[in-house]
């Protein structure tokens, strides 16, 4: 483990002091005092670290001694003590490697060659384990090999625990831990070292001789490995369980996207192949000139329905019986995916010895410690800690929620702006006089406004994420877990509204409040939007494509370019300080210091969760969404792998048994998708109106176009007898068919939701969260642990038998004496 701090040369400070006036004299004296305090903290911290038993070695980067490195390592006695303190798992008995890939097991049973499988060298061994006990050390496998008994990840986790507990100032002021020292500026970085370079050596070496980082780069992070299984055991061994679970979830999600993408593509292809059988579209193209449609705006002219022939045919691709069935399929897919992920998560948690992991009493965050106004006794530990009044925190959280509501109102304002922008663009297109622009005015307006909307979404997302971070800090959450959960909830609520408000508007509100001739609904003097010629679903598909796919492309470009730019800037800056201009070869710790600090998993999870919402909530309108998500995730896995292996400093390994609050968000989205798809099929799609028409008037859809068009009221004199799409009579009142259709729609929603949620509960009951084979392994492990940790059973037997024999001899001797 390495601690780094930088000290500016005094010559520069003196020169700056000479150039500045008296005002800077006070500032320089303050900076000198601050520098002295930081140096005192570092010395006290180092002294206390030595008392814990850590071994230290100090290095300076160059002759100017401006960058200092303190290398830390833990001897065997310290590791043994903290292994028991932290309840590390110790190996009892080796077991065969588990095949965690379902597809691999199926292909093996069918004797089909598996091109996805690859033998990765140096796979970590799998053991039955139990909690480590120093007194039972000789009963654990490999305990005689002190050099390799603890893995590198376990070692740096224990060293980080020591760094987090060590005092550097006054304990009453909670001046404890390396995190707060970094926050105060005493250290610039603290990180475990990577295990050598990631580049493969130029000469030929066997794969077994590669270090762990080279194995991960060669067999995982390279682009040519996009179709191979991820080496999850190697990832967990190198980066820890928390990062391992993220990549396991991302790989599992991507695998489950494959059947969804195949079915969605087949649905889209079936729509292309059956376009010729779309009777309503054929009637529009062949007899559309017979229908004079009412003007689309106050200054527009009437138009013939035959003008929208291409859009009517294209709209069928996104609104046919196949898309309805696909939305039902995706509702079941979402809930089934989460049920099976729970099983996978339980299997991995046991396989990685995290099944019984519960976070111990967390230490307060460094920022909380620095800003807390008072000290109070912790009811758990009995130690006085910084305290922030709960009443004040609740009032701050309430104020923060008001800010969130205000920002959501800003999003709604932007949405109204985009809607008005779309209306203005369509009117401008209609007034050009061009037949092409006039026909495609709605499509052009929708695409342009969607691009503008995407830009606003990304801009507002950046602004609000920064605002949410400041609000969460201001709320003064005590622990990092509380802080993370509050921050995730704030950002997700905003991003949910930010990304999904426009698709929700098109799916459920657009075209609902148009009115009819002589009684049109208006917003700020403009007539309310109606759905385009192909219906609202095709407009929803256009928006989803631009927002979802556009966001994915922009994010991938950013993830590919930004880390390289940041790394180049950081390397240039540090090369001036370290003197790495070719004069000497940089050491391992200097090379790692030039890498970027790991930014965590928040952005990665948020991106995938938002994608999950797109492919489940609005999938009825865009059956190709799972395909684009699948392609994106193949790229995403390699980008993230390359960042963690090649561009980031090695993060401190964190333990975890699940993906945390993100699973709850995914469950909420899956349930919301069932409701959204039910309403989308019932109210946005033409599936139910056509079905009811076929039931009442005939087995086919001949005459449906004429039936779905109403005549303008008699008092509409501008274009008498023009038509508009609605189930109304000549007075503008709803017809009986409309009310019958409304009853069918509501009935469909109720039946759809009840059936899907019933099947969900059935799957939840049938599919256990913990597989049966895993329960058997857990019982076996508990048995071995009981045997290993039994209190000297063998010793008791060895002692008891001789005592028993002596007792019998004494009795015989006593009886013999009595007889004599």
| One-character DSSP codes across 272-327 | HHTGGG-HHHHHHHHHGGG-EEPPSSTT---EEGGGGHHHHHHHGGGSSHHHHHHH
pLDDT band at residue 252 using 50, 70 and 90 as cut-offs = very high
The answer to whether residue 431 sits within a structural domain is no
Q: Which residue has the tokens 């890498």?
A: 595
The residues with which 385 forms a beta bridge, in sequence order, are: 376
Q: How does residue 631 score in pLDDT terms, banded at 50, 70 and 90?
A: very high
* Cβ count near 761 (within 10 Å): 11
One-letter-per-residue 3-state SS of 312-362: HHHHHHHCCHHHHHHHHHHHHHHHHHHHHHHHHHHHHHHHCCCCCCCCCCC
Q: Report the SS3 class of residue 74.
A: coil
Tokens 């710790």 -> residue: 589
pTM for this predicted structure: 0.86
Same domain, 372 and 273: yes
Residue 21: pLDDT band with limits 50, 70, 90? low
Tell me, yes or no, whether 311 and 212 share the same domain.
no
Residue 2's DSSP bridge partners are: 71, 191
pLDDT at 590: 86
Q: Are residues 590 and 579 in the same domain?
A: yes
Query: 291 and 192 in one domain?
Result: no
pLDDT in tens, 444-482: 777 888 888 888 888 888 888 888 888 888 888 887 788
CA max distance for the chain: 141
Domain boundary among 220, 240, 257: 220
Q: Could you tell me if residue 628 is inside a domain?
A: yes
Q: Which residue has the higher pLDDT, 307 or 580?
A: 307
Tell me how long the chain is. Answer: 820
End-to-end CA distance of the chain: 79
E-assigned strands of 378-463? 384-387
On average, the pLDDT of the chain sits at 82
Does residue 401 sit within a domain? no
Residue bearing tokens 């709605």 = 442
Q: Which residues does 158 contact at the CB level (< 8 Å), separation at least 6?
A: 74, 78, 79, 82, 83, 86, 88, 150
DSSP three-state, residue 260: helix
State how beta strands 384-387 and 374-377 pair: antiparallel
pLDDT at 391 over 50: yes
Looking at residue 577, what is its pLDDT?
65
Q: 633 falls in which pLDDT band (50, 70, 90)?
A: very high
**Other CB atoms closer than 10 Å to residue 536's CB: what's the count?**
27
Q: Is residue 781 part of a domain?
A: no
> Which is nearest to 578 in space by CA: 56, 65, 58, 1?
65
Residue 668 and residue 676: Cα distance in Å, rounded? 12
With CA atoms as reference, report the closest residue to 2 among 147, 197, 194, 242: 194
Q: 464 near 440, Cβ under 8 Å?
A: no
| 453 found inside a domain | no
Q: Please, are residues 349 and 657 in contact by the beta-carbon 8 Å criterion?
A: yes
Closest CA to 618 of 573, 678, 555: 678
According to the model, what pLDDT value does residue 288 have? 66
Contact of 759 with 332, CB cutoff 8 Å: yes
pLDDT on residue 72: 93
How confident is residue 799, by pLDDT bands cut at 50, 70 and 90?
Answer: very low
pLDDT at 47: 92
Question: At 716, is the pLDDT very low, low, confident or very high (cuts 50, 70, 90)?
Answer: confident
Across the strands, what pairs with 293?
303, 723
Q: At what angle do helices 232-239 and 241-273 cross, to 10 degrees?
A: 140
Inter-axis angle of helices 772-788 and 321-351, nearest 10: 10
The answer to whether residue 797 scores a pLDDT higher than 50 is no
Q: How many CB atoms lie within 10 A of CB 496?
A: 19
Which sign does the torsion angle of CA 570, 571, 575, 578 carry?
positive
* Token couple for 351: 């396989």
* Closest among 125, 109, 400, 433 to 303, alpha carbons compared: 433
List pLDDT tens digits, range 302-349. 888 888 888 888 888 888 888 888 988 998 899 889 988 988 888 888
Calpha distance 184→790 (Å, rounded): 48
Q: Are 3 and 193 in contact (CB under 8 A)?
A: no
Contact 741, 688 (CB under 8 A): yes
How far apart are alpha carbons 215 and 228 in whole angstroms? Answer: 14
Q: What is the mean pLDDT of residues 697-720?
A: 84
Q: Which of 175, 205, 220 is the last residue of a domain?
A: 220
pLDDT (tens digit per residue) in 488-501: 988 898 889 888 88
Paired with 131 in beta bridges are 89
pLDDT tier, 249 (very low <50, low <70, confident <90, very high otherwise):
very high
Residue 468 covered by a domain: no
Helix intervals (H) in 520-652? 536-544, 550-578, 588-593, 602-617, 625-642
Residue 20 pLDDT greater than 80, yes or no: no
Angle at 283 between CA 289 and CA 294, to 5 degrees: 45
**670 near 338, Cβ under 8 Å?**
yes
Buried/exposed 680-702: b ≥16 CB within 10 Å, e otherwise:
bbbbbbbbbbbbbbeeeeeeebe
pLDDT of residue 803: 46
Q: What is the pLDDT of residues 649-673, one digit of tens each?
A: 999 988 888 888 899 999 999 999 9
Q: What is the pLDDT at residue 434?
A: 67
Residue in 498, 495, 396, 506 with CA at minimum distance from that of residue 447 = 506
Q: Is residue 778 part of a domain?
A: no
Whether residue 18 is predicted with pLDDT greater than 60 in this model: the reply is no
Q: Same domain, yes or no, for 52 and 196? A: yes
Range of the domain at 732: 223-388+476-772
Share of the chain above pLDDT 70, in %: 87
Convert 325-361 to b/e letters by CB count within 10 Å (16 or more is b): bbbbbbbebbbbbbbebbebbbbbbbbbbbbebeeee
Do 381 and 253 have their domain in common?
yes
Across 315-319, 395-399, 772-776, least confident range: 772-776
Query: Contact 722/302 with Cβ under 8 angstroms?
Result: yes
**Looking at the structure, do residues 583 and 535 belong to the same domain, yes or no?**
yes
Q: Which residue has the higher pLDDT, 677 or 814?
A: 677
In this predicted model, what pLDDT tens digit does every residue of 38-58 receive, in sequence order? Answer: 888 999 999 999 998 899 998
Average pLDDT over residues 517-523: 82
Residues 204 and 325 in one domain: no
Query: Residue 361: CB partners within 8 Å, gap ≥ 6?
Result: 378, 380, 381
Give dist(CA 656, CA 352) in Å, integer: 10
pLDDT of amino acid 64:
62
Measure the CA–CA gap between 152 and 501, rounded to whole angstroms: 47
Query: Would residue 443 count as lying in a domain?
Result: no
Angle between helix axes 321-351 and 736-766 (nearest 10 degrees) is 20
What is residue 149's DSSP assignment?
A: S
In which residue are the tokens 């209609």 written? 430
Does the structure show a pLDDT above 60 at 15? no
Rounded to whole angstroms, the Cα distance separating 280 from 312 reads 8
Cα of 574 vs its chain's centroid, Å: 32
Do residues 598 and 705 share a domain? yes
pLDDT given at position 425: 78
Query: Both 589 and 522 in a single domain?
Result: yes
CB 516 within 8 A of CB 726: yes
Look at strands 67-73 and 2-6 and give their pairing. antiparallel
Tens-digit pLDDT profile for residues 733-764? 899 999 999 999 999 999 998 988 888 888 87
- Do 810 and 676 share a structural domain? no
Mean pLDDT of 243-271: 93
Tokens coding 283: 């009637």
CB proximity list for 681: less than 8 A, separation 6 or greater: 324, 327, 620, 687, 688, 748, 752
Residue 789 pLDDT level (bands cut at 50, 70, 90): low
HEC letters along 6-35: ECCCHHHHHHHHHHCCHHHHHHHHHHHHHH
Of 160, 185, 220, which marks where a domain is finished? Answer: 220
642 and 727 part of one domain: yes
Overall domain count for the chain: 3
């Amino acid at each position: 483990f390495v601690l780094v701090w930088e000290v500016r040369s005094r010559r520069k400070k003196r020169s700056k002091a000479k150039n500045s006036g008296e005002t800077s004299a006070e500032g320089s004296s303050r900076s000198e005092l601050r520098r002295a305090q930081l140096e005192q903290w570092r010395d006290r911290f180092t002294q206390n670290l030595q008392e814990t038993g850590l071994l230290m070695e100090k290095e300076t980067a160059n002759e100017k001694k401006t960058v200092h490195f303190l290398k830390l390592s833990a001897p065997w006695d310290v590791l043994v003590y903290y292994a028991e303190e932290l309840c590390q798992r110790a190996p009892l008995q080796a077991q065969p490697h588990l095949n965690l890939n379902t597809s691999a097991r199926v292909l093996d049973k069918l004797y089909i060659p598996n091109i996805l499988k690859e033998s990765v060298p140096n796979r970590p061994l799998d053991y039955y384990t139990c909690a480590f006990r120093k007194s039972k050390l000789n009963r654990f496998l490999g305990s005689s090999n002190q050099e390799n008994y603890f893995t590198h990840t376990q070692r740096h986790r224990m060293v980080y625990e020591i760094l987090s507990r060590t005092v550097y100032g006054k304990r009453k002021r909670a001046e404890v831990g390396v995190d707060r020292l970094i926050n105060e500026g005493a250290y610039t970085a603290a990180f475990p070292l990577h295990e050598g370079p990631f580049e493969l050596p130029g000469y030929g070496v066997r794969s077994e001789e590669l270090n762990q980082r080279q194995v991960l780069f060669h067999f995982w992070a390279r682009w040519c490995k996009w179709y191979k299984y991820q080496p999850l055991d190697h990832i967990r061994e190198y980066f820890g369980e928390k990062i391992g679970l993220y990549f396991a979830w991302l790989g599992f999600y991507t695998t489950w996207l494959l059947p969804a993408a195949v079915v969605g593509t087949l649905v889209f292809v079936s729509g292309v192949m059956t376009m010729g059988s779309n009777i309503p579209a054929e009637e529009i193209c062949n007899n559309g000139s017979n229908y004079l449609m009412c003007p689309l705006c106050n200054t527009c002219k009437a138009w013939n329905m035959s003008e929208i022939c291409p859009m009517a045919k294209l709209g069928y691709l996104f609104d046919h019986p196949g898309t309805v069935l696909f939305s039902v399929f995706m509702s079941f897919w979402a809930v089934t995916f989460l049920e099976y992920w729970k099983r996978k998560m339980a299997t991995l948690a046991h396989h990685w010895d995290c099944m019984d992991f519960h976070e111990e009493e967390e230490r307060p965050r460094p920022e909380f410690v620095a800003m807390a106004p008072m000290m109070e006794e912790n009811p758990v530990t009995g130690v006085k800690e910084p305290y922030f009044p709960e009443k004040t925190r609740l009032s701050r959280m309430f104020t923060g929620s008001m800010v969130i509501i205000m920002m959501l109102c800003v999003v709604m304002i932007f949405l109204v702006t985009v809607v008005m922008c779309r209306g203005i663009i369509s009117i401008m297109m209609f007034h050009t006089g061009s037949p092409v622009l006039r026909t495609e005015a709605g499509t052009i307006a929708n695409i342009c406004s969607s691009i503008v909307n995407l830009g606003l979404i990304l801009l507002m997302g950046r602004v609000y994420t920064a605002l949410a971070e400041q609000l969460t800090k201001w709320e003064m959450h005590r622990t990092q877990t509380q802080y993370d959960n509050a921050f995730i909830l704030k950002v997700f609520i905003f991003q949910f509204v930010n990304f999904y408000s426009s698709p929700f508007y098109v799916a459920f509100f657009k075209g609902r409040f148009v009115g009819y001739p002589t009684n049109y609904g208006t917003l700020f003097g403009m007539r309310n939007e109606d759905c385009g010629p192909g219906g609202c679903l095709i407009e929803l598909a256009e928006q989803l494509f631009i927002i979802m796919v556009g966001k994915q492309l922009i994010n991938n470009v950013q993830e590919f370019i930004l880390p390289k730019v940041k790394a180049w800037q950081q390397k240039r800056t540090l090369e001036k300080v370290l003197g790495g201009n070719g004069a000497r070869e940089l050491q391992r710790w200097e090379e790692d210091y030039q890498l970027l600090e790991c930014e965590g998993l928040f952005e990665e999870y948020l991106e995938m969760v938002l994608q999950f919402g797109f492919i489940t909530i609005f999938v009825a309108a865009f059956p190709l969404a799972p395909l684009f998500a699948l392609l994106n995730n193949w790229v995403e896995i390699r980008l993230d792998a390359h960042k963690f292996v090649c561009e980031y400093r090695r993060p401190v390994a964190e333990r975890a048994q699940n993906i945390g609050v993100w699973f709850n968000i995914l469950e909420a989205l899956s349930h919301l998708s069932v409701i959204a798809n039910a309403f989308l099929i019932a109210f946005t799609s033409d599936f139910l109106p056509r079905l009811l028409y076929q039931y009442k008037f005939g087995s086919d859809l001949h005459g449906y176009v004429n039936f779905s068009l109403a005549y303008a009221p008699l008092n509409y004199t501008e274009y008498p007898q023009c038509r508009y799409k609605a189930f109304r009579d000549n007075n503008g009142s709803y017809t009986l068919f409309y009310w019958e259709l409304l009853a069918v729609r509501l009935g469909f929603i109720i039946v759809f939701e009840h059936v899907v949620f019933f099947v969900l509960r059935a799957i939840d009951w049938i599919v256990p969260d913990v597989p049966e084979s895993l329960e058997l392994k857990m019982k076996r492990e508990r048995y071995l642990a009981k045997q290993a940790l039994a209190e000297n059973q063998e010793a008791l037997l060895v002692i008891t038998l001789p005592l028993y024999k002596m007792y019998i001899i004494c009795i015989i001797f006593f009886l013999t004496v009595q007889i004599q």
